[in-house]
Amino acid sequence: MQKPIATWNPANQFWETDQADLFSEHSEPYSATFPTSGMTRSGQLLPLPLSAPATDESGYSLLPTPAVNDMGDGKTVAWWDEWTSKMKAKTGNGNGHGNSLAIEAKRHYP
């Protein structure tokens, strides 16, 4: 079970943490901003469980937003790279259509 963020104290009518107050035997009142998502169960404020195991990776990958007409659909990565090089030499702005989702998917996930 996950560690609660805070616990409801019905006698004092406030949320409290599991840390003891320095000047009394009572727990510290919860004074942080409540998370944007979570759940309460049996008077405990709990974080939502992760939908997948957490990773220690810091990298990321961004794929282009799919287009209605993906110019690279059905093409190979080599063909696409050659074509975009030709278009860049000819027009100065690459392919003029942005990246192809199909090509980027093939490039990242062969």
Mean pLDDT of 43-66: 76
pLDDT by residue (tens digit) across 1-35? 678 889 999 988 999 988 876 777 778 888 888 88
Order of all β-strands in the sheet with 6-9: 27-29, 14-20, 6-9, 44-46, 39-41
Report the C-alpha gap between 11 and 54 in whole angstroms.
37
Q: Whole-model pTM?
A: 0.41
72: which 2 tokens? 């690279």
Instruction: Dump pLDDT digits (tens) for 88-106.
Output: 888 877 666 677 888 888 8
Digit-coded pLDDT (tens) for 77-89: 999 889 888 888 8
